[in-house]
A and B are shown apart, each in its own frame.
Chain A
């Protein structure tokens, strides 16, 4: 069964600083990988996804993520954060088996932005 680890529960960065949120997954092959963002009291918004091909994927709101097979990682990055980026970020994996399309989420990283 697949699993996801987000080792950082809470990260605080200054507005304008760079950001990297870590995600490691466990799965027998290369899964589909996703980052979702959840603002307080809101639903889950897809930031970006990796299925295959170029290992550096671009998403919305200036985010990008890099898939590293050797490290089983899919870290999320942003060169310069904005106050509106404060939210909870979830990494998720989906197995490639037909009939097993469920998403398995990490525990999330809460991002706080300070002025």
Chain B
């Protein structure tokens, strides 16, 4: 069964550094998403991406964040200058249409 994959599984970075989180969505899916989950809290929507552009973003998704689909398979989330409060689990998800979203295993980001 096709799965969403994410790399790396864990990332430790220094405050102020740039990080890129990578996702490979399910191959015939057209909608892509990033969510995050701060430890002990609920999963929060960050951004959705369709037809090579952002379709919606939350207030969390400020100018420090960007998303890109650099080729036909990858979907990336870049945090330009990480803050301590960016420490969280980041989940990528994809869907074929505006229906069921399938989630990847997540990338645990720790900002020191």
Q: Could you tell me which A residues sit within 8 Å of B by CB distance?
A: 32, 34, 36, 42-46, 49, 51, 90, 92, 94, 98-108
Q: Mark B50-89, 1 if CB is under 8 A from A, else 0.
A: 0000011010000000000000000000000000000000
CB-CB < 8 A to A44: which residues of B? 43, 91, 103
B95 touches A101 (CB 8 A): yes
B interface SS class: strand
- Please determine whether B42 and A108 come into contact, CB atoms closer than 8 angstroms: yes
- Chain B contact residues, CB within 8 Å of chain A: 31, 33, 35, 41-45, 48, 55-56, 58, 91, 93, 95, 98-106
CB distance from A112 to the nearest CB of B (A): 16
Identify which of A51, A102, A104, A107 contacts B33 (C-beta below 8 A): A102
Known: A46-B100, A90-B43; 14 extra A-B contacts, CB below 8 A, are A36-B103, A42-B105, A43-B106, A49-B100, A51-B99, A90-B42, A99-B55, A101-B56, A101-B101, A102-B58, A103-B45, A105-B42, A107-B42, A108-B42
Q: How far is the CB of B110 from chain A (nearest CB, A)?
A: 14
Closest to A32 in B: B99
Query: Closest Cβ of chain B: how far from A11's Cβ, in Å?
Result: 17
Q: Which residues of B contact A98 (CB under 8 A)?
A: 98
Nearest to B106 among chain A residues (CB) is A43
